[in-house]
Amino acid sequence: MYANHFLSGNAWPTAGKTGTGQDFTDDWTMGYTMDYTAAVWAGNNNHTSMVNIDGVTGAAPIFYESMLYAEESQNLPKRPFPVPAGVHQAHYCSNGVCTTDWFLDGPPPRNELGENGANIPCVQILAKGGWDYGPPCQIGMESKTAKNNGAPPPVRSNGQLYVGGVW
């Protein structure tokens, strides 16, 4: 249900975002399906830090079980998200790591993005409409070992593109 690297064909199409507050005092997950929207907060009432709990391990499992119950208890079909105008799916490689994911229409990402944390361009909105890469952004980089399997492929049904892993 929530984002992970296990992309299952049996997953319920869901969009979600987790977060962790400073010093692990709060964590949350917000997300939606085509039928429901939910937000879950987890934390201590006295604003003390939680031990080894973050947005993925605290609020996300509650969000997952709640959304799964809401969908399954109503016998609702799994409905993928429609693909909005202005995006396309593409294969992308950088430093030998490849993925197939969704990108905004326009210039393709540079192949060296994410190599060393330097010169990563911000996206700028153009006065004439559309967008392009702008000057470098100031961001921090974090090294992760999880495999990126990319996004599930789109499916066309009745002339409309859909994404979400279940069709």
Mean pLDDT of 145-149: 48
Q: What pTM did the predictor assign? A: 0.57
Q: Tokens for 90? A: 């593409």
Mean pLDDT calculated for residue range 70-88: 87
Q: How confident is residue 129, by pLDDT bands cut at 50, 70 and 90?
A: confident
Q: What is the pLDDT of residue 128?
A: 79
User: Mean pLDDT, to the nearest integer, of 37-43?
Assistant: 91
Instruction: Specify whether the CB–CB gap between 54 and 43 falls below 8 A.
Output: no
59 vs 3: which has the higher pLDDT: 59
Using the predicted structure, report yes or no on whether residue 157 has a pLDDT greater than 60. yes
Give me the amino acid identity at 101.
D
Cα separation, 149 vs 164, in Å, equals: 14
Q: Are 23 and 167 in contact (CB under 8 A)?
A: no
User: Residue 166: which pLDDT band, with cuts at 50, 70 and 90?
Assistant: very low
Residue 6's pLDDT is 44
Q: How far, in Å, CA of 4 to CA of 7, rounded?
A: 7
Share of the chain above pLDDT 90, in %: 11
> Is the predicted pLDDT of residue 48 greater than 60, yes or no?
yes
pLDDT for 5: 41
Query: Is residue 90 classed as helix, strand or coil in its secondary structure?
Result: strand
User: Residue-wise over 72-111: b if at least 16 C-beta within 10 A, else e?
Assistant: eeeeeebbbbebeeeeebeeeeeeeeeeeeeeeeeeebee
DSSP E strand stretches across the chain: 15-20, 26-32, 37-43, 81-82, 87-94, 97-104, 121-125, 131-136, 155-157, 160-163
Residue with tokens 């992760």: 144
Measured CA to CA, the distance from residue 88 to residue 12 in angstroms comes to: 22
Mean pLDDT of the 139-153 span: 51
